[in-house]
Amino acid sequence: MLENIAFLQSDFFTGYIQPVLVITGYVLLLVVPLILAMAYLTYAERKVLAAMQLRQGPMMVGPFGLLQPLADGLKLLGKETIIPSGANRVIFVIAPMLTFMLALVAWAVIPVNAGWVLADINVGVLYLFAISSLGVYGILMAGWASNSRYAFLGGLRSAAQMVSYEVSIGLVLVCVLLTTGSLNLTDIVMAERDWWVDLLLFPMFIVFVISALAETNRAPFDLPEGESELVGGYNVEYSSMTFALFFLGEYMNMILMSGMTAVLFLGGWLPPFGIEALAVVPGVIWFILKVCFVLFVFLWARATLPRYRYDQLMRLGWKVFLPLTLIWVVIMAGVLVYAEALPNMAGG
């Protein structure tokens, strides 16, 4: 007993073990709700699509089919993991893990409420941008390692698509940074903007949401998996949990992109339109509601829009969004300098 107390007071414990345990606790507090949200996003997607198509959606498992995600998860767990004999085994197995991991890791810097952030780093936006640009590797590796034509074509399509739309996402981020003067996500949420600056940012918000659809390979830009031509794309050869990791990684990326949209454009945890009276509702609730709204737009787009053709997708990325965002950066910078509305840069 005495030894235990001595251990608790030792340098090593207070300096290293204790912080690690605390941080692990915080990570779990963030990751467990996220995984639940991801499971129920699959449910929400089926329900929303069903409602828009005058169907009922999942109804059988549990009340209103609420236990359907769990049943699906169990089903996938119970299946056999098949690794094709011609596949490059190591890369084949690493690819889905990488996809899933990257989607989770990015949440480290997203503030869900005032001060509720795992790592409040100075370059939060750049970190998010870096992590979201890595998502392409999981898909590219899966496509190549499967040693299958369909999977490979899906991987290549996805790589070209994600690289193209990242350019416009980067320029949209520059526009946001011009109005906030900080790369820290908490500062970006707290930045006070005039109404006309918000108005100037609005077109960039639209561009960002559309690019987010393309970046997460969602309809109407879901060409990497275009089932009518590629029978499922980069993940044809995957089964069981390896498939589930891709599937869930895609949904996690959707939640991540919605979180980014909420933080960058919708004011994060702050009540909407700056209405003070609504501040009684806790910030987390506002954050979750905003994320849900953007997610609903994702699902809505899937139910409404037909899939783009590949050349149209590339045209939209390179010939419409790239010039538009590039010009908008110049316009915004010019207007902000002219109106002397640039945020105070000396503040750090």
Partner 1 sequence: MVTAGKRNWLPISKPTRPTGKERQQTMIESLFFYVLSGVLVLSALMVISAQNPVHAVLFLILAFFNAAGLFVLLGAEFLAMILVIVYVGAVAVLFLFVVMMLDINFAELRRGMGRYLPLSGLVGTVMLVEFFWIFSKWTSDTAAVAPHMRHAPLEVSNTHALGQVLYTHYAYIFQLSGLILLVAMIGAITLTLRHRPNVRRQEVSRQVDRHPKDVLRVEKINSGEGVS
Where do contacts with partner 1 occur on this chain (CB under 8 A)?
11-12, 14-16, 23, 26, 29-30, 88, 91, 115-123, 126-127, 129-130, 133-134, 136-137, 140-141, 144, 152, 155-156, 159-160, 163, 166, 183-184, 311-312, 315, 345-346, 348
Of the pair 169, 299, the CB lying nearest partner 1 is at 169
Of the pair 30, 201, the CB lying nearest partner 1 is at 30
What is the smallest separation between the CB atom of 39 and partner 1, expressed in angstroms? 22
What is the smallest separation between the CB atom of 77 and partner 1, expressed in angstroms? 29
What is the smallest separation between the CB atom of 290 and partner 1, expressed in angstroms? 19
What is the smallest separation between the CB atom of 274 and partner 1, expressed in angstroms? 24
What is the smallest separation between the CB atom of 122 and partner 1, expressed in angstroms? 5
Of the pair 16, 196, the CB lying nearest partner 1 is at 16
Q: Residue 61 in contact with residue 68, Cβ under 8 Å?
A: yes
How many Å apart are CA 116 and CA 108, to the nearest integer? Answer: 10
Burial status of residue 181 (CB atoms within 10 A of its CB: 0-12, 13-18, 19 or more): middle
What is the smallest separation between the CB atom of 194 and partner 1, expressed in angstroms? 23
Q: Residue 53 in contact with residue 59, Cβ under 8 Å?
A: no
Of the pair 12, 195, the CB lying nearest partner 1 is at 12
Of the pair 137, 296, the CB lying nearest partner 1 is at 137
What is the smallest separation between the CB atom of 128 and partner 1, expressed in angstroms? 10
What is the smallest separation between the CB atom of 204 and partner 1, expressed in angstroms? 19
Of the pair 145, 200, the CB lying nearest partner 1 is at 145
Of the pair 14, 56, the CB lying nearest partner 1 is at 14
How many Å apart are CA 173 and CA 261, to the nearest integer? Answer: 11
Of the pair 177, 209, the CB lying nearest partner 1 is at 177
